[in-house]
Amino acid sequence: MYLIKRAENLLRAQMDPIARTAGLTVAQYTALSILHARPGMSSAELARRTFVSAQAANELVNGLHGKGLILRRPSPEHGKILQLRLSKKGEAVLRKCALAMQELEELIRSALDGDAQTFHHDLKACIAILEANGGR
């Protein structure tokens, strides 16, 4: 377990300056990436996907909205639920650091002796067993 946490800390230390070049935190970059892939989700859905509390996601959304990076629109099904989408500015900011993030991911993949898909599968299996054991 120590190795996983150490790898996470080292990865985060390299992601931070990349995100900062676009005026973002890693959490904001992650949220923009998720909203790019899945536009229209609510703050609650974004919280689950970014592994933060609903309160933290609300602060994240407010910050992104305040910077003009996301748009909030009422859901057609539930008027009280706001759907989130990237603005044109949000798309541009995401593009600004996405390439460097992809290069960092490729660097990590290059270190794998075996098949990256096998590693990905095995890591997902670890997550699934921990979730089944009462994790979140």
Q: What local confidence, expressed as pLDDT, does residue 6 receive?
A: 93
Task: Determine what percent of the chain is predicted with pLDDT higher than 90.
Answer: 64
Q: Please state the rounded mean pLDDT for residues 70-83.
A: 88
Whether residue 119 contacts residue 107, with contact meaning beta carbons closer than 8 Å, is answered with: no
pLDDT of residue 135: 66
The number of C-alpha atoms within 13 Å of 89 and in the hemisphere containing its C-beta is: 10
pLDDT confidence of 95, banded at 50, 70, 90? very high
Query: Shortest CA distance to 46 belongs to which of 134, 2, 56, 132?
Result: 56
**pLDDT tens by residue, 111-134:** 887 777 888 888 889 989 988 998
Read off the tokens for 96. Answer: 């600004």
What is the mean predicted confidence (pLDDT) over 21-27? 94
Buried-state track 2-32, b at ≥16 Cβ within 10 A, e below 16: eeeeeeeeeeeeebeebbeebebeebbbbbb
| The predicted structure's pLDDT at residue 136 | 57
Q: Which two tokens stand for residue 59?
A: 């602060």
Quote the pLDDT of residue 67. Answer: 96
For range 6-34, the mean pLDDT: 95
The predicted structure's pLDDT at residue 113: 76
Tell me the one-letter amino acid at 34.
I
Question: What is the value of pTM for the model shown?
Answer: 0.84
CA end-to-end distance (rounded Å), the chain: 17
Q: What is the pLDDT of residue 117?
A: 80
Rounded-to-integer distance, Cα 114 and Cα 120, Å: 11
Q: Evaluate if residue 7 carries a pLDDT over 70.
A: yes
